[in-house]
Amino acid sequence: MNNNKLYKNILLLSTLAVVTGLFFPQFCFAQIDAAPSTIDEAKTFIIKVITALPNAMKDVWKDKVLPIWQKAWKWFKGIWYQNIKPVIQNGIDKIKSLFQRKEVTDIKEEFEKEKEEALKELPIISKEYWDNVFWKIFRE
């Protein structure tokens, strides 16, 4: 019981330390020297911020965000090609083989049935054909 409470306290403190470590340094970027006192100062300040924002975003994107996503993508591709894709491909191959075997056996069974029927009908058809052709030749 006591260990569980200790564990929760350590988890809480470490979470708070991580959150404060991530967010407090960011507040220094939001500080300005003094609030603008006139509308013209406010306009110039807003124009500075608006013009600097795209470059800052571009720099952050290129230097921080894009490399992280590229690393994450490489990691995911490695996991996918090494672990996940072979399992999925194996399952797909098994399912395909089940359907292909059934189709092949169904086709073979149909072929055998048709063959038996044709062999049964062959003497009758050949006799009728021979009789018709033979008698037509001699009648003409």
* Domain assignment present for 134: yes
* Domain assignment present for 19: no
Q: Are 36 and 45 in contact (CB under 8 A)?
A: yes
Q: Residue 44: which residues within 8 A CB-CB, separation 6 or more? A: 36
In terms of residue numbers, what domain contains 91?
41-139
* Domain assignment present for 34: no
Per-residue pLDDT of the chain (140 residues; tens, 9 = 90+): 567 788 788 887 788 777 676 666 655 555 556 666 788 888 888 888 788 778 878 888 888 888 999 999 999 999 888 988 999 999 998 888 777 766 667 778 888 888 888 888 777 777 777 677 766 666 66
Indicate the pTM of the whole model. Answer: 0.36
* Domain assignment present for 72: yes
* Domain assignment present for 66: yes
* Domain assignment present for 31: no
CA distance 13 to 19: 10
* Domain assignment present for 11: no
What domain count does the chain have?
A: 1
* Domain assignment present for 25: no
HSE-up of residue 67 (Cα within 13 Å, Cβ side): 5
